[in-house]
Amino acid sequence: MTNTTNTSAPVALVTGADKGIGLETARRLAGAGYRVYLTARSSERGRAAATAGAQFLELDVTSDESVRHAADSVEQAGGHLDVLVNNAGITGPMRDPHDYTADDMIEVLLTNVVGYIRLIHAFLPLLEKSDDPRIVNVSSGLGSFTRFHDRNRIGAFVGTPLYAASKAAINMMTVQFASLLPNIRISAADPGLTATDLSGGQGHSVHDGTDAIIAYALAARGGPSGTFADRDGTVPW
């Protein structure tokens, strides 16, 4: 990923981009000529990741103050944002079902769902200054009701009620916002089982895992909105 200060380049911001899917998304967008803000909570990890390219911007999706500061920084630097990739997320604990608590769910939703809303709210004014604004919400096939009820799929037997519920919420949030904001293309991308820390290193490469995200981010004007897809095509809701 080559760093760029080209102020005429389209601008993208990726959350949770110090590693895994977020980092690969930032790398590929930079390679496509975007001026990329690589964001993360940890300044140490974020700056280390950004040495490969893009510009690090400290951002904690669970903090109003942090997100406002990031939005102010992007506005001062260029005045608009073309692509927002909501990627930051956590799996939460995996326990015996008797042991899940409300606090467990609150922790997951605050990052995975409320964090997405916080970013959309803060960056909408900058996205609306773009000629072709796009939001890509990173979701998961584990949030698909259709896939869960297909007993031939391994996902039907994965016990992740907190994470899966958060991704189902992201899917509904995506289609609602896409309907309410017709001038912004907003879709949900499923990376599939990707070899990252979240999956314990299982799955396909991060390059393959970012295919759907990049396809939405780089889709030509007039491309899809309010849709849900992985690298192989449409994912059922």
Report how far apart the first and last C-alpha atoms of the chain are (Å, whole number). 34
Q: Which residue has 């290193």 as its token pair?
A: 201
Picking from 44, 26, 22, the residue whose alpha carbon sits closest to that of residue 36 is: 26
- CA–CA gap between residue 3 and residue 128 (Å, rounded): 25
The token pair that represents 88 in the structure block: 């930051």
- CA–CA gap between residue 29 and residue 3 (Å, rounded): 11
User: Which among 34, 37, 116, 163 is annotated as catalytic?
Assistant: 163
- Clarify whether 163 is annotated catalytic: yes
The token pair that represents 174 in the structure block: 């995506």
Is 63 exposed, middle or buried (CB count within 10 Å of its CB: 0-12, 13-18, 19+)?
middle
Positions annotated as catalytic residues are 163
